[in-house]
Amino acid sequence: MFSRHPITPPICLLTLASLLMSPWGLARAGDAKAGEVIATQQCAACHGADGNSIAPTFPNLAGQIEGYIADQLMKMKLGQREVPQMTAFVANLSPEDMENLGAYYAQLQAKPAAIPESDVDAAQRGERLFRGGLENMQVAACMSCHGPGGLGVPQVYPRVANQHRDYLEQQLLAYKSGERESEGNIMNDIAFKLSAQQIKDLSAYMHALK
């Protein structure tokens, strides 16, 4: 239903540049099998046995970027991102466990989602923002970092496609209010300029991005 535009050269350059400046380093090589053991015992109850969770405010982790997962777990352990439900779990994880969990979840398949009839208009408005940004507010197109299909960029930008709509909306609002911080305030500066309605529209679109 939503058209996919070819990647333009400036975006390729931007992606390449961001890869080189990656905050999470270039080489990540976790052991997915070791990650699976921890995930099955400690994470599956909330994030789903296949990395696709049931509760709409518990994020899907299937297909998420490996380095991003490890990075967020470290932030939670250091108290830089507050997730009360996870405090007890991250306390026991070593940096190696975090890499292994990232490797495990990255290779799982995200479940495709459909746009409910009631969200079609919102998703179309969201698509324009995701692909075109907001020129008058100097908001870059979301796809210039998160990719045209929202799949993220390995080691650099998280996946946003096939994520729960409620979770996406909650995170954008948390960036907007400053409750959640991001590397170099990238997402805080962007979300600050978005209205609550634009955040709803974007979340409706990203949730079912193919």
Asked if 157 interacts with ligand HEC (CB under 6 A), we say: yes
Write phi, then psi, for 194 (nearest 5 degrees).
-95, 140
- Separation between Cα atoms, residue 77 and residue 79, nearest integer Å: 5
Q: How far is the CB of 121 from ligand HEC (least distance, A)?
A: 18
- CB nearer to ligand HEC: give 106 or 118: 106
Asked if 160 interacts with ligand HEC (CB under 6 A), we say: yes
Asked if 139 interacts with ligand HEC (CB under 6 A), we say: yes
Asked if 77 interacts with ligand HEC (CB under 6 A), we say: no
Tokens, residue 25: 């380093």
Asked if 106 interacts with ligand HEC (CB under 6 A), we say: no
Binder among 37, 74, 89, 111 for ligand HEC (CB under 6 A): 89
- Kindly give, in sequence order, each residue whose CB lies less than 8 Å from that of residue 153, ignoring residues fewer than 6 positions away: 15, 18, 19, 65, 145, 146, 147
Q: How far is the CB of 150 from ligand HEC (least distance, A)?
A: 9
The alpha carbon of residue 85 and the mean position of all alpha carbons in its chain are separated, in whole angstroms, by 19
Contact 102, 68 (CB under 8 A): yes
User: Which part of the chain contacts ligand HEC (CB under 6 A), choosing from 4-12, 24-32, 65-73, 108-116?
Assistant: 65-73
Binding site for ligand HEC (CB under 6 A): 38, 42-43, 45-47, 57-59, 61, 69, 72-73, 83, 85-86, 89, 101, 129, 139-140, 142, 144-146, 157-158, 160, 168, 170-172, 182-183, 186-187, 190, 202
